[in-house]
Structure formats: structure tokens, C-alpha cells
Structure 1
Amino acid sequence: MDICIIGGGLSGLSAAYALRDKSNITVLEKKNKTGGCLSSSKAGKGYIEDFYHHCFSGDTNLFELAESLGIIGELEWLSGSTGYYVNNKIYPLTTPLEILKYPYLSVKDKIKLGILTLHSKKYDVNGLDDISAKDFIVEKCGISVYESFFEPLLNSKFGDIRGSVSAAWLISRIAIRSDRKISGEKLGYFRNGYNSLTEKLTQKLKDSGCIIETGNAAEKIIHTDSGWEVNGTHYDAVLSTINPSYLEDIGGPKIGDIPYQGAACMTIGLKREVTEGIYWLNMKDKAPYGAVIGHTNFVPQERYNEHIVYLASYFTGIPPEGLEKAMIDDFSSRFKVRRDEINWYRLNIDESAGPVYVKGYKKLIPEYEKDDLFLAGMFSLPNYPERSMEGSIVAGKHAASEIIRKYNL
């Protein structure tokens, strides 16, 4: 049986891995490398992800995949500190003492925030799907907690459409990040970066006889009596992992109006550290990026022979004109970085980086099969209400199981 998988990101590769011994697999990936948003590029002595990544202790399917690939021993648990940039000043917010010292929340506000965090795992996210994150926080904690603490987070992840995001997403994010120690949150990272995961997975698939075609986007698909044609080649089944609206544009079925956003992520190699030891710095002050991620305040900078930061920005439609210059100019000025202190920088843009969990999103989630075509990706149920590598792997595995069941493979 011949199966075409559209998209070489984590869902597509995971599905191919589950099907590799049961059928002939061809993976089409429009970029010149696999991984999707998990792709990496050379930096210093190793590789750095094009879009920042880390994993969590509950990502069991990710760990099982890493063990199967022989790289589980490379997984490390590192401390991730957090902070806010407010009125041209960095405020660390990792330890209880730092939170108590934060001047933009009253003692009463901090107590409300603490109670919300403690109770976060008890909420039924299904009951929060139709409530906006802003309305939920204002009701539970008040407007000052929303504006001083949560709005920068929402802005860093969703930009101008932050007001549409559901409380289900926000409370899930709080819950998954509520297991903190005094030194900060423990997050997972592979010693050689996530490039080791995508490279090992890609090579394993090739060794199993799978065809991985990078630099080859699916441009046209046609439903036939015996299956599908993709770019003129016949396949018995097709699994798509791309934005459902893109799939419809090339001839696929209409899945529904799932809102997507783009990501613009600038990676910068520096001669010195600039975020005062903080890993994740949310920007409350207006800037052409919503967060500064000090990668080498999380992963030891000795692995790269330089310091590395990300500037994270999100958009809908197409990225703002002149964004690259605006980002590097603002960063250099705001953090007092001279141009001779910048070793290199590059801007990676994905105009369809992932779905936005707006109010009512759960009703939009498609099944794994629609009109004889299979679906899996960041839009799938395992990625609701917080998209993750774990969710993408599970979605790919579930879609593969549906193919196996339908065709008795």
C-alpha cells in the first residue's frame, strides 16, 4: 500500500514511524529540511532550533520515541527562570521572594495569583472553552493581575489577537507550568538539541525504506476512485499535517475555519549575556517582539561558544513589513548591545506556525479522517488546549492507527 504524508514536521514523521513497516511511505516537505517548527540550523559548535523549544516531565510519548531512537540518554532537565520587562527594567519572577518584590502587583493581587496557580489543575478546561482568557482572569484575580502579569504572556504568544484566546488555553498553560521549585521550573532539553531527534527520526525512516522528499511541497491533490493523486502521483491513502486551509487550497476537503497564526522568530548569537540571567523574559513594554528567550541562560553557553537569544513575535496573515530590521534595531537599543557584540542573527518565519485557541475552538477540531483523507497536526485533539511536541507526536500516532484500522494493515 502506498501512503503519502504531506508535511515533514513531528506529526508527519511520527505517523510515518508508526506505519514504516506496514506500507510504502512518501513524506513531502516543502522546506529543505525535516522537523517543521522543530527544525534546526547550525550555530557555534552545534545546532540551534529555528524556533525555541523545551519539553515537560509529562511528555511520555516524546520520551518513548527518544528511547526508541536511542537518544533518551541525551535528555537533560534544566532550570528555566522567568521575568518581565516593564518600564525599561528587567524584573525576575522565578522565586517566591522575587514575586513578592515585584512592584506592579499588590500583596492582595499576589495572593490571588497564588491561589489561581494552586487551583489550576482542578479546572475543567471544557467548561472554559467559550470564555476568554482576559474575562476569566479579570473575574478571578482582577484587572491589575491581568494587565501586569497575564497580558504580557498572552501578547508574547498571540500578539494582537490575544483578546480572542480562550481561558482553556491559559489555565492549561498555568497548570502544566505550576510544578516549580525554588530555583525555577525544570524543563527538558536534548544535550545536542532537538536536531538530534529530527535527524535520528528522519534517518530511521529512510533506513526503513521511507521516501523523504524535502524541498517538495504538495501543490495539487485529486481524489480518485482508487485513492488520491498528489502532484500527479497515485497513492492509496493520504495523511495531511498542514494547515487545513492550505490543504483545501490545493484540492483537499474543507475541514473548517481553524484560525492559524504565523511566527517570526529571530535567533541572535552574542558575545555577552543580556537578560540578567533570565531564560524567559516577557515584554510588557511595547516592542516588535513579545518575548526575549535567553537560550544560553537555560542551556550552557559553552556548548555554542557564544550566548544565544531568541526574539519571539507572532502575527496573522503576513509578517509586518521591515520586521527583521525593526526587531534587531529595537533589541540592540533596548538592551544596549553594540553591533560588534552581535556575531550573527537570522529571522525564521512560518506564516502558518500553529492554530490559535480562540473561544469555541474545541468545536472546530476535526476528526482524523475526512472524505477519505486522514488528518493530524497541531490542529488535532491531542494538541488541545496547549500545542506541544507531545501532542503532535500523539496526533501522528493516532492518525496512523486509523489508517492501520481502516486498511487492515
Structure 2
Amino acid sequence: MTQTLSSFTIIGGGFSGLSAAYDLARAGHKVTVLEADRYLGGLAGAFDTDGERLDRFYHHWFTNDLDVMGLIKDTGLTDDVVVQPTNTGVYYAGHFFKLSTPLDLLKFTALPFIDRIRLGVLTLRARHVKDWKALENETAADWLRKLGGKNVFRVVWEPLLAGKFGPYAEKISAVWFWNKLKLRGGSRGKGGEERLVYMKGSFARLAEATAAGIEKAGGKVMCNAPVTQITQLEDGRWRVAGPWGELDSDKVIATTALPLVADMLENWAAPEYLSSLRRIDYLANVCLVLQLDRSLSSTYWLNVNDPSFPFVGVIEHTNFENASSYGGNHIVYLSKYLPHTDALYQMNDQDILEFSLPYIQKMFPAFSRSWIRQYNVWKARWSQPVVEKHYSSLIPDQDSPYPGLHLCSMAQIYPEDRGTNYAIREGRKIAARLINK
């Protein structure tokens, strides 16, 4: 049977768009990827340092992220993957607690001993949940209180939910939190330590290698090519347009945030469909990246369980990847998820640094601004979909009501949370389906 080849326009050069285009192009289809930014990789884009390039927003993979490993193998980058045990901790009530292994949990004196046991049992029970659909009717807050008790929730989970989701904290689905606990439990070594994966030279290398594979197969990848309009032509084909010009193709796969897709379809799609694309809320992210002349601590990932501290996490990347990779600089990420209307999101880079310094100095009294060799601030408007109860009913289908128009966005990844591994999985899955179709 002879396969009918089609032309595809892929909107978005993140991992879902690139992985879909990679497989479509290698199957012989004519493919063009349009990326609005000047770089590929979406939230996994990189910037230059004194040594290797560095991710704009902190990234790692888990050892059970099999889809990303598959793409790494296909693009020939397996030798550049590093697997390391990591140190995880919690900052609570002015104290640092290590929480990398089950033994650390028993020493977590922020909780009475009986609550430490409850916390350990909670994580084990959560990882053994098989039917996530049974959790769709519960919020994460209610579910965690029920499993671990009010005190465990107050000390451990409530600050993390509030730090991650802010005004949405009490609305977040139990499914979202269940998946986080399950994923981390599946990435541990024999001693119970968490083992994580990084790519030498930044995750953007995988995005660029995937783009090179697309072009080698005859496809085209364009940066600085924002899309402002998607229109269906009279013959059923599709026209995608932007300041760079316009492009016609048989099919379109839009991988950007759903409200942005609604904007592109505004002039002709049905109002009820546009409303469904705008129904899911998104949080933005502000990420302050410090390049220091010395280390802040020995912890890689520090959860901040202090509601007075504006950042939900302090991630010292060079406690994972050696500082020698970055000209001897010690890399620290301070991350904050927040509504895009928040005052912090509106600040300029210098103001964000000045705002942050007193909090860093309070947490690490020895810290001095003289340690800072360089800093960068990165912002992402569409960083985290708000996963509410019954989220599965809010997700639009990958096949739109208009034949030839398909969606493959981070908001459609479920019950897992968005991430590069699942973006790759969904991109390759939709490509395989359309190739077979």
C-alpha cells in the first residue's frame, strides 16, 4: 500500500513540535517548523556562560523518563548524558533539612516522630495508586490532609502548593500531586537516593540536534517566525501567517499554549471552540539565575517551606553538574510561579535582583552580593497549566473540529505534568498517528 505524503506546518519549536516534525520528516512528509523566539527548545532553551551553555530555566530528567532517552539515542547524543545522585532538602522555620533518602526522613525533626512515619507512609501509599481517575474529584490539599494528617500537610505540603500555585493552591487536583510523588519514587537508586539525569552543554543541545535531523530529512526549521493567524482555505488546506509571510500546507500541528492558538484562530473559528481553548488557566514563571564565585550550600534542590520567602525553590545546579563546566562559576536558580499580573513578574531584571537579595541573605547569612559574578532573569508567560479537579474534561482533543488542524500542547499532557519527556512522547505519538492515518 502506497502512503500518501502530506505537507505539515508545525507551530512551536519546543520539544513536542520538534519531535513530531522529526518523525514526520523522516517518514517523507514535507515539514516546516515555525518558532516565534530566536532559539529552539521552548522552556528548555539555553544561554551562554563563561563555559558551557546553560538552561534558562532549571532542568533535569528522571531515570524513568524513557521517551526523552529514546530521542537522545536517535539523535546520537547518548554519550553526553550524565546520571548523578542528588541532594534534596527542605528549608523550614529557619533550618535546613536533608531529604534525599528514607533515613533523612526519619531525621526530619520539623515533624514529631509519628508524623515522620505518616509522611513516609503517605508517599508509599501515593505511589501505589493505580487508578488516577479515582482522584479526579479531590483537590491535592484534601487528599494530602486525608493521607498524612493536618500537621504533615501544614509543614510539608501546604507551603509547596502555595509556593507553586499561589492563588490556585486549594484548587489543584490530587492527580497532579499524585503524579509528582509517583515520578520521584521511580527515579531512585538501590539505597533510596534520588538519581537524576542531565545533558552536558544544556538541554537545548537535544532540541538543536532534533532540528538538525529534521533538516537532514528535508524539513525546514525557522526561528523568529511568530504566527498570528491560522486560516482554513476553501480547498480544506491551511494557511499560517505572521510578520515573516505566509505558508500553506495540508495539515497544521499547533504546540503553543492553548490561548495563543485561540488568538490565531480568532477571525473564523466557532466561539465555543475558542472558549474551550481559553478555559485552562496558566501560571507564569520568573527565574533568577545567579553565577556565583562560591557555593551557597551542598544541596542541589532545596524546597522552600517558608511562606514569607518569595521563591518556591533554590536549585544549585552546580551541586549536580560541576562548576568547572561554567568557568568555575556556581550556578543557582531561584524560581517563582505566579500570575502574569503579579508585581514581581512586571519588574525589570535589576529590580528582581534587588528584591531577591534580602531573602537570599536571610536564608544564607554568609552570602554577600559581592559573590555575584553575573546574573540573568528569564520569564515565561505560559509556564504551568493550572490542573484543577476533573481536568480531563477540560482538555481539548488533539484533533480539532476542523479536519487537518491538530493540537499538541503542554496543557494536554495528563495525568502526568508537563515536561520535556512527556512533550517528546506526545509529539512522537501524534506524528505516528498521523503517519499511519
TM-score of the alignment, normalized to the shorter chain, above 0.5: yes
8 Å contact from structure 1 (residues 262, 319) kept in 2:
no
Equivalent position of 2:298 in the other structure? 277
Shift of 1:183: 6.9
Equivalent position of 1:135 in the other structure? 142
Shift of 1:155: 3.3
Of 12, 15, 18, the match for 1:7: 12
Query: Distance in 2 between the 1:215 and 1:128 partners?
Result: 42
8 Å contact from structure 2 (residues 230, 238) kept in 1:
yes
Of 190, 194, 199, the match for 1:185: 194
Equivalent position of 2:257 in the other structure? 243
Q: Please, which moves more after superposition, 187-196 or 10-19? A: 187-196
Deviations 1:16-75 (A, max 9, x none): 001113222111111100000111111231011111111112222211111111111211
Q: Please, which moves more after superposition, 6-15 or 98-107? A: 98-107
Letter in 1 for 2:206: L
Query: Distance in 2 between the 1:138 and 1:269 partners?
Result: 39
Equivalent position of 2:57 in the other structure? 51
Q: Please, which moves more after superposition, 156-165 or 243-252? A: 156-165
Equivalent position of 2:407 in the other structure? 375
RMSD value over aligned CA atoms? 1.8
Equivalent position of 1:126 in the other structure? 133
8 Å contact from structure 1 (residues 85, 281) kept in 2:
yes
8 Å contact from structure 1 (residues 156, 312) kept in 2:
no
Equivalent position of 2:3 in the other structure? none
Equivalent position of 1:360 in the other structure? 390
8 Å contact from structure 1 (residues 268, 346) kept in 2:
yes
Does the C-alpha gap of structure 1 residues 297 and 119 become closer, same or farther in structure 2, counting only changes over 3 Å? same
Query: Distance in 2 between the 1:183 and 1:299 partners?
Result: 21
Deviations 1:258-316 (A, max 9, x none): 22211111111011111x21111111222221110111111122211111010010012
User: Secondary structure of the equivalent of 1:234?
Assistant: strand
Is 1:197 the equivalent of 2:197? no
Shift of 1:224: 1.5
Query: Distance in 1 between the 2:171 and 2:82 partners?
Result: 35
Query: Distance in 2 between the 1:330 and 1:98 partners?
Result: 26
8 Å contact from structure 2 (residues 254, 407) kept in 1:
yes
Equivalent position of 1:229 in the other structure? 239
User: Secondary structure of the equivalent of 2:61?
Assistant: coil
Summarize the alignment of residues 306-317 of structure 1 with structure 2, pairs less than 5 Å apart: 306-317=329-340
Query: Distance in 1 between the 2:260 and 2:412 partners?
Result: 16
> TM-score, length-normalised on structure 1?
0.93
User: Secondary structure of the equivalent of 1:303?
Assistant: helix
8 Å contact from structure 1 (residues 278, 297) kept in 2:
yes
Deviations 1:162-216 (A, max 9, x none): 2211111111111111243547300111123212211211222222222211111
8 Å contact from structure 1 (residues 159, 290) kept in 2:
no
Equivalent position of 1:296 in the other structure? 318
Shift of 1:358: 1.5
Of 322, 343, 348, the match for 2:378: 348
8 Å contact from structure 2 (residues 292, 372) kept in 1:
yes
Is 1:150 the equivalent of 2:183? no
Deviations 1:82-108 (A, max 9, x none): 111122322222234432232221111
Query: Distance in 1 between the 2:127 and 2:105 partners?
Result: 21
Equivalent position of 1:206 in the other structure? 215
Shift of 1:388: 2.2
Aligned length: 404
Letter in 2 for 1:171: W
Equivalent position of 1:330 in the other structure? 359
Query: Distance in 2 between the 1:332 and 1:204 partners?
Result: 46
Does the C-alpha gap of structure 1 residues 87 and 116 become closer, same or farther in structure 2, counting only changes over 3 Å? closer
8 Å contact from structure 1 (residues 85, 282) kept in 2:
yes
Deviations 1:223-251 (A, max 9, x none): 22231111133221110001111111121
User: Secondary structure of the equivalent of 2:194?
Assistant: strand
Gaps of 5+ in 1: none
Letter in 2 for 1:281: L
Q: Please, which moves more after superposition, 328-337 or 347-356? A: 328-337
Query: Distance in 2 between the 1:340 and 1:121 partners?
Result: 44
8 Å contact from structure 1 (residues 5, 27) kept in 2:
yes
Query: Distance in 1 between the 2:423 and 2:234 partners?
Result: 30
> TM-score, length-normalised on structure 2?
0.88
Query: Distance in 2 between the 1:224 and 1:318 partners?
Result: 37
Shift of 1:319: 4.4
8 Å contact from structure 1 (residues 34, 214) kept in 2:
yes
8 Å contact from structure 1 (residues 29, 216) kept in 2:
yes
Query: Distance in 2 between the 1:60 and 1:225 partners?
Result: 42
Of 160, 164, 168, the match for 2:167: 160
Q: Please, which moves more after superposition, 95-104 or 59-68? A: 95-104
Deviations 1:104-142 (A, max 9, x none): 211111111111222223212111122111100111111
Equivalent position of 1:391 in the other structure? 422
